[in-house]
Structure 1
């Protein structure tokens, strides 16, 4: 049994004397809640997962009609296997949204890697000259939290910024297109600067491609939809309020980390555009292939996580 010999001897002696191996009653403070109250606490938190431990402590009286402590509630819940975690923040979905998610997941759930390789993933992203990266750590001693050499100054609003559009396929990247103001991206600008200049020529050279775009206003505008139909661009349908797990999001994170590793931080939008363009052209092809291949892999990110998220709030 891989235990000490004396332990077995004591248990055997206790069984001979008391007909049980349970510990003897010891002096000490008795439990402030009964077993029934413990079951009630667990049941209440199972029925209402957002119920706080402090609220339960105010609603529960102990053996002497005294309010139990919040830590007592946490210990009772922890004993039953419940742990306090941050909740998943999901969108407000109507029955129509849930139905659209379900249909999309059923239609694209059986796609293999070959089919996902024919998809061109695109989206816009916002890059700021001052980025608050949660990966940055500071080595300090206790009590040095607010010391000048331990504080990383950051503009809460991110400073100057620009919008960048880009698209990726299995073997190539398309773009980028830079917008120095979010308001510049309307249907007319999106059609002329993005679709007409980049997407249509690329899809014309590579047949049987499917273009993916989200449900931004510039993408769903009638002017944009009519242009896509007239240009014979096949579009991947995208459900409303879909989980935002486009594989190109990993590429934006890759670019942001490359910017953060620079010795020279961009001071204005022009400098930021130059840096982004340099890093965009330096993206290795195998990285793009990895993103797209993981889209069709059950263990990867991309579409299979998107399919899981499509049914997450059903």
Structure 2
């Protein structure tokens, strides 16, 4: 009976209808419905078929512990370990009921940057300080560099039934790319700096970019009464950089380490890359550069920059709530 229940539950979990399940297992549809409804009733579950029922509390605890040890643990590995460790056989339904009672739910995996433990506290303290200061970031330029490449591949394609290879797209092994620098503020964006093929980012190059791209925008939009926020990359924190920026009168706002999830310009980079795939679709390096410059004029409006920067307050709340762990999206 337990094996039959496991099979019914597995078919139901695959999305099979009551009628389909009844046809597969050779049962009456109403009987299948009755069994499945009884299986989903909320009561303390105790599996049948154990050779030693006194082991159940320990088995249940081990299943829960395996989920705490590894968020990606597979069901068949749980079943295998229970067999090896306790010499007892449990099925899919048994594992599912333990998950249900322990409130362990399957969710789509999301990725965030790695944050080392010492930096989690620093991220929280920074967010709390800005919250206490009621800093609205109205006079801050958020700046960073990004590598942008030609990428026209969509994750989805429409394929005709008579085209067995229609889903296979060609992709260049080493696509052409450029390195860019950009800063955005509530009053708008700077011009985009596109580095040349032999121009690498180092402290000297970075200081020159700040001088030629940031300072003119700072004077034009804020009369130089503004702050520059950049991450803790080596070229940003080098002694040469800090000394030169101080000489030029650039006020740098401290930024917590390993915190791209709070950096608004990262959203602008993501928007740029999406538009390159779906809107501009450059085919060579010249078209890529042209598309990047068009993006600056067509999409980096004052309204867009303002809305993007306002998202930092949501990100800060999430960082505080998650004790410094990375966040992604509007909800976590």
Q: TM-score, normalised by structure 2?
A: 0.69
Indicate whether 1:294 and 2:311 are aligned.
yes
Q: Does 1:234 align with 2:251?
A: yes
SS of structure 2 residue aligned to 1:127 = strand
Q: Give the match for residue 55 of structure 1.
A: 77
Equivalent residue, structure 2, for 1:44: 65
Of residues 98, 107, 110, the one that matches 1:76 is 98
In the other structure, the counterpart of 2:233 is 216
Where does structure 1 lack aligned partners over 5 or more consecutive residues? 1-21, 24-29
Q: 1:198: Cα distance to partner?
A: 1.7
1:45–1:66 Cα change, 3 Å: closer
Aligned: 1:160 with 2:160: no
Count of residues in Structure 1 that have an aligned counterpart in Structure 2: 272
Query: 1:272 aligned to 2:288?
Result: yes
Question: Could you say what the CA RMSD is over the residues aligned between the two structures, in angstroms?
Answer: 3.3
Gaps of 5+ in 2: 1-37, 40-46, 327-332
Match of 1:188 in 2: 204
Compared CA separation, residues 160 and 307, structure 1 to 2 (3 A) = farther
Distance 1:87-1:268 versus aligned 2 partners, 3 A rule: closer
SS in 2 for 1:152: coil
Mapping for residues 104-183 of structure 1, pairs under 5 Å: 104-112=126-134, 115-134=136-155, 137-140=156-159, 147-157=164-174, 159-181=175-197
Match of 2:42 in 1: none
User: Against the structure 1 CA distance between its residues 233 and 76, is the aligned structure 2 distance closer, same or farther, given a 3 Å change threshold?
Assistant: same
2:215 counterpart of 1:200: yes
1:253 maps to: 270
Match of residue 91 from structure 1: 114
- Could you give the per-residue CA deviations for residues 150-171 of structure 1, whole angstroms, max 9, x where no partner exists? 32322354x0000111111112
Query: Structure 1 or 2: larger helix share?
Result: 2
Shift of 1:239: 1.8
Q: Residues of 2 paired with 1:40 and 1:310: CA distance? A: 27
**For residue 101 of structure 1, what is the aligned residue in structure 2?**
123
Q: Deviations over 1:276-296 (max 9, x none)?
A: 101211123221221123334
TM-score (norm 1): 0.73
- Measured after TM superposition, the shift of residue 56 of structure 1 is 2.6
